[in-house]
Structure 1
Amino acid sequence: MKYVARFPVDDRELSVLHAAAFGGELEVQLWRERLERWALTWVGAFSNDQLIGFVQVCWDGGAHAFVLDTAVHPDHERQGIGRQLVRTAAEEARAAGCEWLHVDFEPHLTAFYLDACGFRPTDAGLLKLR
């Protein structure tokens, strides 16, 4: 398994992974353009040069960074890939000078983010805009 920060993104390949991981319809997104413009970093997990995992980190340009889109292909789940993706992303954010790494998640992911990845629970708010 190889973990690569800021790898050259193929929009279709990442869209296929995202659809498989989140169970949605395949809709090719402009990932490369979005990541280059808004992300502090992104990390891919590769097995035999095939993208099987992904996470991105956005930031406020200062002390705070945010984990988004953690995805592992269903054929490769429960092997520690997601945990290593998040750890690698955290190392990248730390190296960029960030002091805090935030993540929002659904209740069924509590054990993953709190136990496996080392986040601690906090109070937060959410406002649906659309």
Structure 2
Amino acid sequence: MISYKETKELSNNDLKKLYLSVQWFVYTDDMGTLKQAISNSLAVVSAWDNDKLVGLTRVVGDGSTIIYVQDLLVHPEYQNKRIGTIMLSMILDKYKQVRQKVLLTDDEPIVRNFYENNGFMSADQGNTVAFYKFL
């Protein structure tokens, strides 16, 4: 059975294994930065199969007018078991009073479907525009 925790206290080893499992190498190349990012987040929800970290989502923002879902990842062996949906629901419930809930992600059909099924609308389908700039 999967258990869920809201905590920023996560070991480097657990984080590295999870992020590597989804091939997010840019995060694992600098674990110090990842740990600081986790620490500076508004909230972090993690999913556990006993003592194995199998999912994580984290939110940044001011917590009053805007939140940004920065990371939502689930170990490939645990995908399609509603873990991501449950973690996202926990975050959305925690910040239900916040008007703007934003995220930036890959434009792949499975990803688009996941977020649309969880109440998000892509900027290309609404009356907003999204901009981003990477280093």
Name the TM-score class by shorter chain.
Answer: 0.7 to 0.9
Corresponding residue number in structure 1 for 2:35 = 32
What's the CA shift for 1:7? 4.5
Corresponding residue number in structure 2 for 1:106 = 106
TM normalised by structure 2 equals 0.80
Corresponding residue number in structure 1 for 2:47 = 45
Q: Which 5+ residue runs of structure 1 have no aligned equivalent?
A: none
Corresponding residue number in structure 2 for 1:92 = 94
TM normalised by structure 1 equals 0.83
Corresponding residue number in structure 1 for 2:69 = 67
After superposing on structure 2, the runs of 4+ consecutive aligned residues of structure 1 that deviate more than 6 Å are: none
Secondary structure of 2:31's counterpart equals coil
Q: Which 5+ residue runs of structure 2 have no aligned equivalent?
A: none
- 1:60-115 CA distance string (max 9 Å, x none): 35310000111100111111111111111112223xx5232111222211100011
What's the CA shift for 1:23? 5.4
1:78 and 1:128, CA in 2 relative to 1: closer, same or farther beyond 3 A?
same
Query: Percent identity of the aligned residues?
Result: 20
In structure 1, what is the Cα distance between the partners aligned to 2:52 and 2:30?
17
Secondary structure of 1:22's counterpart equals coil
Give aligned pairs, total: 126
1:128 and 1:44, CA in 2 relative to 1: closer, same or farther beyond 3 A?
same
Q: CA RMSD in A?
A: 2.0
